[in-house]
Structure 1
Amino acid sequence: MLPEEIVALEELRGICLALPEVEERLSHGEPTWFIRGKRTFVMFCNHHHGKRLGFWCPAADGVQELRIEQDPDTFYSPPYVGVRGWLGVNLDDDPDWEDVEEIVRDAYRKVAPKTLAARLD
């Protein structure tokens, strides 16, 4: 992994692991974060399927389309899970880490049991 890829992974890892009851393990060869060891809410994407460095996560209804429309260089519909509303986020072009944190927290809220999601508020 290149140094900028390591930095992006470490930033994303810090955001994900700061959330309640999150653990990391490899899934499909990439670092992936799970809630209570079961529910995936963020998958790191290191040039998977020709895409750029980034991550995939579930998004609320309509968010994927809106984000892609607003900034198609940063956001995309990822393979396999894009049809279910997941959002692909590129991290290889000076990402806005505050926005990334908000996206990750929203993905967590979408997937987490209500009792855990409530702990974010």
Structure 2
Amino acid sequence: MPHAAEKKSHGATAFFIEKGKIFAYFAHNHHGDDRTAVLIKASGIEEQEILIEADPALHYRPAYIGHKGWVGIRVDQQESDWDHIADRIETSWRLVAPRKLLERFA
């Protein structure tokens, strides 16, 4: 993603853009949950609930940030839909990107 960088945040790998706005985390066995997932920002609780209801084996409400509308997407599934995962990461990036950056990379 344009202007994206990686850093450690709270023991997890985080991906952020300008001014430290995080748009994704990589989580592996977070607090012993036996999941490997990417955590992405949704537009809000309503979208989070829709994603989880649509496919609860794939999507879940992650600890600590789920109450803010973030969604976990499991990447440890045998048949992971990488196009869906990439689309959700891009959507998350767009939700936190400054307007000027969005205009440049529309």
Q: TM-score, normalised by structure 1?
A: 0.79
> How many angstroms does 1:115 deviate by?
1.4
TM alignment of 1:26-45, pairs within 5 A? 26-36=8-18, 38-45=20-27
Contact 1:22–1:37 (CA under 8 A) maintained in structure 2: no
CA-based RMSD: 1.3
Instruction: Provide the rounded CA distance (Å) in 1 between the counterparts of 2:92 and 2:40.
Output: 6
1:3-50 deviation digits (Å, cap 9, x = unpaired): xxxxxxxxxxxxxxxx11110011122211010251111010011021
Give 2:67's aligned residue: 83
Percent identical: 34
The alpha-carbon distance between structure 1 residues 119 and 98, as it changes in their structure 2 partners (threshold 3 A), is: farther
Q: How many residues in Structure 1 have an aligned counterpart in Structure 2?
A: 103
> How many angstroms does 1:86 deviate by?
0.5
Structure 2 unpaired stretches of 5+: none
Which secondary structure state, in structure 1, belongs to the residue aligned with residue 51 of structure 2?
helix
Structure 1 unpaired stretches of 5+: 1-18
Give 2:92's aligned residue: 107
Instruction: Provide the rounded CA distance (Å) in 1 between the counterparts of 2:50 and 2:103.
Output: 26
> How many angstroms does 1:116 deviate by?
1.4
Q: TM-score, normalised by structure 2?
A: 0.90
The alpha-carbon distance between structure 1 residues 116 and 48, as it changes in their structure 2 partners (threshold 3 A), is: same
Instruction: Provide the rounded CA distance (Å) in 1 between the counterparts of 2:102 and 2:80.
Output: 25
